Structure 1
């Protein structure tokens, strides 16, 4: 990594502007308090990137009944997250250039909190869907820009910080899935209260981003247009659509997201249809999800120390293949082993987030690559769970769907190898140093 990209948040940044513009003075240096506050902010933001979805999943039947949703509307709500991630995520680069990534993440946290505050009070499906979309828009922007924040403020600790971010995201996912029902029961049994409680965590996440966003705007007004705390110059960065690595990353992201959504949506039903009790099937899903907490911290650090990360992608894919083959032949006898293996395989997410930070040299490149890979990837992931459901209904069993799940891992492995090669999108677009 070039010298100018290995500065930490507590040292004066190098300005990447035209030669006639002066370097920032020491007074413009990033304040010393920013590093610790950013770490807290990243952790709290990541914790809030999935509870809006998994808390609803835990109370979906009660919510659907309470709002009088039709089956069509209920099915739409389950497909909305990936669609919102794709649609709103694509706006992140432009907003980041205009306001700076820290300010946009702060706004994203506000949007998440506002949506979570409003939706429990909705009296109909339309209002509930609109409030959910507001939260999902904030999640989409934060999804794209947190890797950018890490690359910009912690360029010499990308693996460690992405690991912390990924681990916090996995913890928030598991916490909301496991705790929503008990919290709802403890607070009186209303699904509205059970959903509202997660707005408290979102409001807490806004607090550290307020001073960070303020410092970002102050640095921008001081003239440091490409300072780590300010927005990237308009039009800067490579054209990612010209990069084969960017396309490999986007497709890899899409296939791993497809596998994750299929697992979260259908794994308990697979076990139940095989004869496992409903309560045990829920615990097995929890095991699969909890595996992401420790591995989400380990994998990014390991990947950042390697020049080529293809071996990790292959290993994760093989774990998934074994898990699906096991589900096909012995779903009950090896249930715990298959849940464990699929949990490991789903850790392709922290790997691909790390690759986004490693496959671009500049913060501008990371902004564009993150938006492109995630938006394209989430679009790719939308049909997967619906197709699995259709195959299950058509065939009356899980043989054909499981064969498709295993089959999708083969191109995922190939794309992971391509995305893991030691190259950057700037080099592929003719912008190398």
Structure 2
């Protein structure tokens, strides 16, 4: 489906020769889909960020062991890897709209039922159900943007990344107040199912606008993506930025407390760091898609990281707001990592395949970061060794990003590789 072209065309790939283009949808249908994308994005992290603030209450209420709590905090990256990798195949069989309806249904049912679970194993199992929906949504939303808004990729990426950031922030900030107001952590966790219910309604209406299945021969799989250098660059870029982000979200407040900052102030700084994702999501996508070469953005984010981390290393309590701001700007690399799925592909199928490969393997890399960071802290007894690891990740992110940011397209790389085998 198409809309009126803009200057963003310069940053987007043109369809491959011979590819059938879907007919333009009515303006009202495109508006419905735009709203549906925004509402779906609100749900992709609520199952994750609602747990941390009441993890103590959950483990005590369920009698969950430390091992169970560790499994619970590891489940998101495992689910994102497994279910994210399956998404392109499921999308081809079910259709992208129907698959997203099922994903939002899984989020909604998972959140409601796990809040009522009486046993730890059942809580973990139903968490997998909720997280599977978020994993599918992670992969399918960039493809839906490319499919329905090929000439508005920047604008619509802004819409869904902002929705993602807002949903993440709401679940992180509102869970404790909900728990205190109701006196029940189960109600606080289950309340976010309302988001999924509301988001599913416009997608049910949008089912009538599901595009006809394309030529199955044009479908791309994860294996084809990983057969190219561009595909692996996407994996490593997404993986390194995810690892840095997970480390900051998991350890930032504790680092500041160990340096002498009180618990409340450390929590405020973490909330500020998280909230910086909202303006980054609002501003960056439209800028990123307006250029063919994204390497300047890679350098910008890395430079911000290095300023912030250097300040935290040398003088963490003098200029904490400044260092946190720079690290928050660096975390804008997440927006670039999501936007690049569209700007480095020519088709919605290519976007879905690159999104699946980058996110499935990338989240596995991202999940290892906090574990290694904590291990280095425990073995070294200070924060210098783990901070050195983070700076090393930033440098790898720079190298991979400079390769990924060059103006090329995944479909061309796959075609070139196939031609070499002939």
Q: Same fold per TM (> 0.5)?
A: yes
CA distance, structure 2, for counterparts of residue 119 and residue 214 of structure 1: 32
Contact 1:8–1:155 under 8 Å retained in 2: no
Equivalent residue, structure 2, for 1:316: 301
Contact 1:237–1:362 under 8 Å retained in 2: no
Q: How many Å apart are 1:141 and its aligned residue?
A: 0.6
Equivalent residue, structure 2, for 1:139: 134
SS of 1:430's equivalent in the other structure is helix
Q: How many Å apart are 1:362 and its aligned residue?
A: 1.2
CA distance, structure 2, for counterparts of residue 354 and residue 325 of structure 1: 28
Instruction: List aligned pairs for 1:119-158, cutoff 5 A.
Output: 119-158=114-153
CA distance, structure 2, for counterparts of residue 8 and residue 127 of structure 1: 49
Instruction: List aligned pairs for 1:25-424, cutoff 5 A.
Output: 30-186=25-181, 188-216=182-210, 220=212, 225-226=213-214, 233=216, 236-237=219-220, 239-424=224-409
Q: How many Å apart are 1:118 and its aligned residue?
A: 0.5
CA distance, structure 1, for counterparts of residue 83 and residue 208 of structure 2: 24
Equivalent residue, structure 1, for 2:12: none
CA distance, structure 2, for counterparts of residue 312 and residue 31 of structure 1: 35
Contact 2:2–2:148 under 8 Å retained in 1: no
Contact 1:147–1:357 under 8 Å retained in 2: yes
CA distance, structure 2, for counterparts of residue 7 and residue 196 of structure 1: 38
SS of 1:242's equivalent in the other structure is coil
SS of 2:51's equivalent in the other structure is helix
SS of 1:263's equivalent in the other structure is helix
**TM-score (ref. length: structure 2):** 0.92
CA distance, structure 2, for counterparts of residue 416 and residue 388 of structure 1: 22
Q: 1:18 to 1:275 in 2, by over 3 A?
A: closer
Contact 2:45–2:168 under 8 Å retained in 1: yes
CA distance, structure 2, for counterparts of residue 176 and residue 389 of structure 1: 25
**Higher RCO (CA-CA < 8 Å; seq separation 6+):** 2
- Deviations 1:389-411 (CA, angstroms, capped at 9, x unpaired): 11111122211111111111001
CA distance, structure 1, for counterparts of residue 46 and residue 255 of structure 2: 24
CA distance, structure 2, for counterparts of residue 165 and residue 147 of structure 1: 9
Q: RMSD of aligned C-alpha atoms?
A: 2.2
Q: How many Å apart are 1:246 and its aligned residue?
A: 1.4
Contact 1:242–1:428 under 8 Å retained in 2: no
Q: How many Å apart are 1:32 and its aligned residue?
A: 3.9
CA distance, structure 1, for counterparts of residue 324 and residue 366 of structure 2: 21
Q: How many Å apart are 1:353 and its aligned residue?
A: 0.8
Contact 2:218–2:349 under 8 Å retained in 1: no
CA distance, structure 1, for counterparts of residue 227 and residue 53 of structure 2: 42
Structure 2: tracts of 5 or more residues without a match: 6-14, 418-422
**TM-score (ref. length: structure 1):** 0.89
For these two proteins, the number of residue pairs brought into alignment is 407
Q: How many Å apart are 1:30 and its aligned residue?
A: 3.1
Structure 1: tracts of 5 or more residues without a match: 10-14, 227-231
